[in-house]
Chain A
Amino acid sequence: MAEPTADAAIAALVAASRRSAVGRRLQGEVEQSLLQSIVDATVRLFDAEAASIALFEHDPDRLEFRVAAGDKGAGAVGLAVPPTQGIVGYVYSTGQALALSDVGNDPRFNRDAAEQTGYVPRSIAAAPLFDEHGTLGVLQVLDKRSSPTFSLRDMELLGVFAGQATVAIAAAKVQRDTARLLASVLAEIGPELEAEQVDALVASATANLDTDDEAPFWRMVDQIARMRGMSDREMSLVADILEVVAGHAERTQRGRIGQ
């Protein structure tokens, strides 16, 4: 590989990573609030004790509970379970929706994870969230109050909600996973690249991605994300302020160059 071309390519990848990270930052809250509204609706419609959504994350491979609703749901948020364990893991691995009842009475049920949430359910129904590329995560409902078990109709309904959650994720998904995005693009444009080479390129492009939450740049991105709910008037006021600041910055820079 000729060095200047390689440098330019790396620079382009770094720029793409940064844009992707910014996009993720801006979209993150939107995704989160959409998913939250889906578990809120699920828990109400099922009249269940809890509902939650776990999404697959890399390094280490895990299913992380992102949102939860219901009286007994709160403890699940932030909890991560291995994708090779438990009912959620099975549903994720196979893409098959299923429901179990009497799980609380069975001492062999994967209680560890349940107890971490502060709640051990009697029954659980789980459905996969998947798009055309594969399974993204799992939507689960714990303990319907009106019945000790889940019916076929319940399973179907759960599938519909899982579909909604998938749609909500779809928009933000590319930004969610910068490394995967880069790897897939690299594989496409350089089919002769070995897997290790792709990994190395992705690593170097994402290594210095500034993820320090307190860094001024990210604080600014976060502020912009918060502005989504603003009225047009407020928005144009902010744009005016930014214009003044940017103009000031340019003049300062020109001054420095001129010195």
Chain B
Amino acid sequence: MGKWRVGVDSGGTFTDVCMFDETARQVKVWKVSSTPDDPSRGIAQGVEEGLKAYTAVSADAPLTDVAYLGHGTTVATNALIEHRGAKLGLITTQGFRDLLEIGRQKRPSLYDMFAQKPRTLVPRHLRFEVAERLLHDGTVDIALDEAAVRAAAKSMAKLQVEAVAICFLYAFVNPAHEARAAEIVAHELPDVFICTSHEIAPEFREFERLSTATVNSYLGPIMHRYIKRLSQRFNDLGLVSAPHLTQSNGGVVSFDAAARTPVRSVLSGPSTGVVAAEVIGLQAGYRDIITFDMGGTSSDVALMRGGHTTQANEAVVHGYPIKAPMLDIHTVGAGGGSIAHIDTGGFLKVGPRSAGADPGPVCYGRGNHEPTVTDANIVLQVLNPTHILGGRLQIHRDLAVRAMQVMADRLGLGVMETAQGIISVVTANMARAIRVISVQRGHDPRNYALMAFGGAGPLHAVRLAQELDIGKVFIPRNPGTLCAMGLLLTDLRANFSVTRLTPITADHVDDLSHSLQAVATQANAWFDGEGIAQDAQRVILSIDIRYEGQNYELSIPVHTVALTAAVVADTITRFEAEHSRMYGFIAEGEKINAVTFRAEAIGLVDKADLPERPMAGPDPQPAKIGQRDVWFPETENFTPSLIYSRDMMTPGMILPGPAVIEQMDTTTLVPPGWTATVDRFENLIMEIA
């Protein structure tokens, strides 16, 4: 076995590599430019260069010493956004080929009559109907017309489709027709990617299940090619261990599994950052955290309660409904590059337009004249007014001030008040996103710590905390590379579900146990398939429960497949408590039904254990690198503030605000009235003084 654990996160601009030296127990970071034409090139190069920078590697097999490799990619996500998926055919129940286009029949915007629906991924001539029909209890109303399936497959072969989705009504109750159709198609089209709806999303609501199967097939061939190319490169570099890919649920799976279910990775981008936040938070003693990942164009927020990030089973991704296990991450189009403008009613708005990396904010001096959130921070001198990115980028504060003056004149405010106004408005936008994942789910944000990361998170964290009455803000040691870090901290994870409407009563204990056993069996089969050792296996069971007549369920964990009357009674009690917390009432006397039975299978992976450093004195003087005047709304004036280097800070230091902490990939603001302390893991904890 080797001695390095490697996480490589490949984004649009940079590929981040996080390496954990198992012997020295140290984390190293390497960054290279991404290679969008063939991302596998940048990835391979990044890992090779990174290892070479810190250790002696063999020239012909530089990755031999890698014991574990986890990889996060946006290949599937980008293919969906840019509509670069496969040429795809669909086979569906007779009478319903247009369902994919009709969707839920709602228009995309209530008031904007120019809004467009997302493009249908399968054009009409590639959607084939076959005679077959099941009823809601799974009985056959019309038998499958196998000849029609074969004919459809032959037509698709002529039209040279690369993938086929198969979705029939009620396939989640009785998969026989879908399974048989898949066999026929596989026979006719042996080299084509096939996905059936009951395999990828065995749950009710036909349009969402159909959409999921379609997106999976659309991305299947793309992911296959990507993984094949990347595996080849890793082989060539001498990688011996099996590489893993991240999923939207924050876990990783083998490359083979990932290639079969690309739809489960489309929201994986921000998920490993959240996983890292979870681990880093728990290690530091925080079990209830709201994560806040702010980048250039958008921000992602998620909620972790009792040490677990809340999960969701459904989301709409770029207009396409997807049923897949995922961390419940909410995204809002507000980032450092978001552009401020005054609307026709005279109010200041920020976003959703972004200045991007080019031309970038006004202060970059590349021709943009519309002030952004970053410009506001430059004007206020919260950000270094001459250079950022560790001195690599020159800043033109005068240009930002001039642009801000134009806006201030129109608003009838001062330049500084306007700049601070931009911060307030963007903070309000982000607070709204956090309310969606907290108050709207019955959680009071005041009981949580805010963990900020991403390039702009630490800069805005305290302002956001103030807006939400959060008293504690947490900044991890390396906020800019948390996603790559998360790849070193996550486990193998897969989710299994079965939908069987069952009354939750003592009379149905056997039925309930049987359904739980069914998903547990699937989990065990997965453990075997992935070769996960017995002592690394964990299964988390839950049942989605609702009152009879409702259509939205609450997920209630259970701890055993062998239910008893007592366990059932306890499950009902916990359902009622959750219902009361969410909706404020319990429907006394109403029947309670189990709907979906779920198993989350976890294969524990040896992880990087983050190093602890000895506590030293509270005096921050050794980390001080300067002083500048920063404008604060608290003082309504420029106030002398000390500037510290994050790299020179040691555990135990206490920094009273106002202060600014600079590091290569981010800047942290400690406003007046707040104090920052460094904990033994070098995290920064900010609290009201």
Are A and B associated in one complex? no
